[in-house]
Amino acid sequence: MNVHQRTQWRGDPDGTRYRTRRSFPAGPANATVLLAGPGSVSVLDGEGRDDRLLGELTGRLVARGAQVLTCDMPVREPNSPSTEADQLARAGRLSHLLDAHQHVLVRPLVLVGFSLGGLALLHLLRSGRPARADTVVLVGTVIEEDAFLTSRVPSLDLVYGGFDLVGYVADADDETLPPAVFAPDMYGQWSARHLVGRNSIEVRVRLLEGLGHTLQPCGKGPHGDAVSALTSLVGTTK
């Protein structure tokens, strides 16, 4: 199936220019998916592994009748931890992306975020933007403190690669505690318990075996099909 696309230029409050893109089917769309990539992805036409995964996911969703909204993201320093400023900058662009497409918005509205993109979506949901999201899928997003979601979200899926290990180092003043490493079957449940909503939220934790932080295959052996799994969670039908 051919993917139709419309790309437009927008501007941040400081004047920085960036592109937004709507990918859509030939006929009427049956859903709207806001797609927020990880920190490794900053432009709509990148060629890295994560870019290719997002491109394949976009194509699959459009083939099932959804329209997909994406945009350029601010470039961040490679291999450095994400900051509050990173998350706020991305959340701002995602909010404007939704605002710019209100006239073509089709329900259900689904939010999908990878890693830093997932944290940016959490910022939006905590601030009540959008007022309601029908489904939220956060990939590789670790939630370490309570997050009160002001937006109405009936269901939220936390998705992790089975090889996405998270390490913690003890405070520098306490040398008695060794570093600790946790697997997603443990920290995924912790993250789920930190999600609190104005209304009841069904939070599900899902593990995809053989995959890493951004759902790329890791190591030898069988691995899950990230694109098929995410397409199923989004719930569009053709």
3 state DSSP class of 109 = strand
pLDDT for residue 232: 95
CB burial of 110-132 (b: ≥16 within 10 Å; e: otherwise) equals bbbbbbbbbbbbbbbbeeebbee
> What would the pLDDT profile of 120-178 be if each residue is shown by its tens digit?
999 999 999 999 999 999 999 999 999 999 999 999 999 999 999 987 655 655 565 56
Contact 39, 82 (CB under 8 A): yes
Report the interhelical angle of 49-63 vs 226-234 (nearest 10°): 40
Q: Give domain limits for the chain.
A: 4-234
| Nearby residues of 121 by Cβ (< 8 Å), 6 or more positions away | 34, 36, 91, 94, 111, 113, 136, 138
- In terms of Cα–Cα distance, which of 95, 152, 141, 143 is closest to 118? 141
What average pLDDT does the chain have? 91
> With contact defined as beta carbons under 8 Å apart, do 136 and 156 qualify?
yes
CA 152 – CA 186 distance, rounded (Å): 27
Radius of gyration of the chain (CA): 18
Phi, psi of 147 (to 5 degrees): -120, 110
Cβ(222)–Cβ(209) under 8 Å? yes
pLDDT for 184 beyond 90: yes
pTM to 2 decimal places: 0.93
How far is residue 60's CA from residue 55's CA, in Å, rounded to a whole number?
9
Return the CATH number of the domain spanning residue range 4-234. Answer: 3.40.50.1820
Q: What is the pLDDT of residue 102?
A: 95
